[in-house]
Amino acid sequence: MATPFSITSPVDGSLIPAGSYLSYAEADEKLARAENAQRIWRSTPVTQRVGVVRRFLDCFDAQLEENARQVSLAMGKPIRQARGEIAGMRARAEALCWQASLVLADQSLPAKDNLERMIRHEPLGVVLDIAAWNYPYLVAINVIAPALLAGNAVLVKHAPQTACVGAQLERAFLQAQAPQGLLQDLMVDHQVAHELLRTRRIAHVGFTGSVRGGHEVYARVAEAGFASCGLEMGGKDAAIVLPDADMSQTAIALVDGAFYNAGQSCCAVERIYVPKPAMGQFVEAFVAETHRLRLGDPLDEGTTLGPVVSKEAAVRIEAQVKSAVARGARVVSDARMFYAPRRSDCYLAPQVLTGVDHTMDLMTEESFGPVIGIMSYESEEQAVRLANDSRYGLTASIWTPDHERALGLADQLQVGTVYMNRCDAVDPELPWVGVKESGLGFTLSHLGILSMTRPKSFNFKLR
């Protein structure tokens, strides 16, 4: 029998009924419905699959305001950013929709020795999407859209903090007249999820979350059978500012990259390397721009910085800052610029630190909050070495007007995506991929669609 649970809103500390954990029997019934839906869906022409996904987007947009408000209350994202995330979900899904027919078409090879040779991209089956709370729409659609377009059914196990999103997604797909069971909200605990994996009826697991969570999921998938697995985990993304960059404009862009969504982004900028002679100018511009942020109630249209997701997160972030200061770092931003009524313990002023180095967790371990360390360097070789001195490898950014210089440095950076003069952005026509402990596999782009299929070879002798 389903077990109801509540979450604590970071906005005001109130308890919000969030949903119910399904029993194994209830979850198994949903898995059976997904299997039945997928048997029909796999034979549905790609053009019709695209039509269902686009109708889903229209149905979701019809409830945009209420959906965005629920997310703001659940995890503290400013309402304007929540609306923007829903728009981003549409953009990603549309980018995959227009590619689907071409990507999934049979690939014929040249005739050889009276042989007809062809590769067909078959769907995997039922996909389990374990989605994170920080970007609850974007994280989910990264798996849902390519999986459905490729002919799979999807079960969405969303983070409990944003359980509302799983229900929102299922409702919109039903309104879009998708087959019953094709996309289902699956709120289960870890044990029930593990038991479902052990049935070997789930063909692929897409996970977004912490490194520890990724290790646990990967181990359980390996223990349970032969499902494929995609992992997007932590990041400690670096920005390298070169001497010829416009320091003021670069600082403005990097403040947004560091503090958007209260820094709770997998690809948030978490450490910045600046040439020593430009350090003073850059830090001054960065702090000035930081002081323009407005900390407050995420439902207030003027808020640009909301609370972090939980009291536990706030305590962890503050501990990282205190440890860095104890080792000689200095906070150069002014917390007095960010007065906000203490409606909960989750409201943190953004903090900018200098005097940092790689002996500090602040520069080596994921912060996932509104804090940034800025460190000087003396040579480009040193900057690259510092950027690569991390167990993570999601993104990095290079700031310079010199394209060739940026390209040369980008080749040396051990990350999945390198930006020039931008950061904290995802292009759905490019694969989203991490290296080291940032990830395994990829989503988005034509490669993301193909990752939700298995190739089948046809080798026909004609005579």
- Name the residues annotated as catalytic: 232, 266
DSSP letters, 309-322, are S-HHHHHHHHHHHH
Minimum mean pLDDT range among 90-104, 142-156, 335-349, 448-462: 335-349
Distance between CA atoms of residues 430 and 432, nearest Å: 6
Distance between CA atoms of residues 345 and 225, nearest Å: 43
Q: Helices (H), strands (E): how many in the chain?
A: 15, 22
**Largest Cα–Cα distance in the chain?**
83
Predicted TM-score (pTM) of the model is 0.96
Q: What is the mean pLDDT of residues 370-388?
A: 98
413 and 387 in contact (C-beta within 8 Å)?
A: yes
Q: What is the mean pLDDT of residues 82-110?
A: 97
Distance between CA atoms of residues 269 and 53, nearest Å: 32
Place of tokens 């014929």: 108
Tell me how many degrees the CA angle 129-135-139 measures, rounded to the nearest 5: 30
What was the pLDDT predicted at 341?
74
Q: Is the pLDDT of residue 340 over 90?
A: no
Minimum mean pLDDT range among 15-19, 27-31, 306-310: 15-19
What was the pLDDT predicted at 68?
98
pLDDT in tens, 117-166: 999 999 999 999 999 999 999 999 999 999 999 999 999 999 999 999 99
The overall average pLDDT reported for the chain is: 97
User: How deeply is 55 buried, as exposed, middle or buried, from its count of CB atoms within 10 A (0-12, 13-18, 19+)?
Assistant: middle
Q: Is the pLDDT of residue 343 over 90?
A: no
What is the percentage of the chain residues whose pLDDT exceeds 70?
Answer: 100
Token digits of residue 394: 């999601």
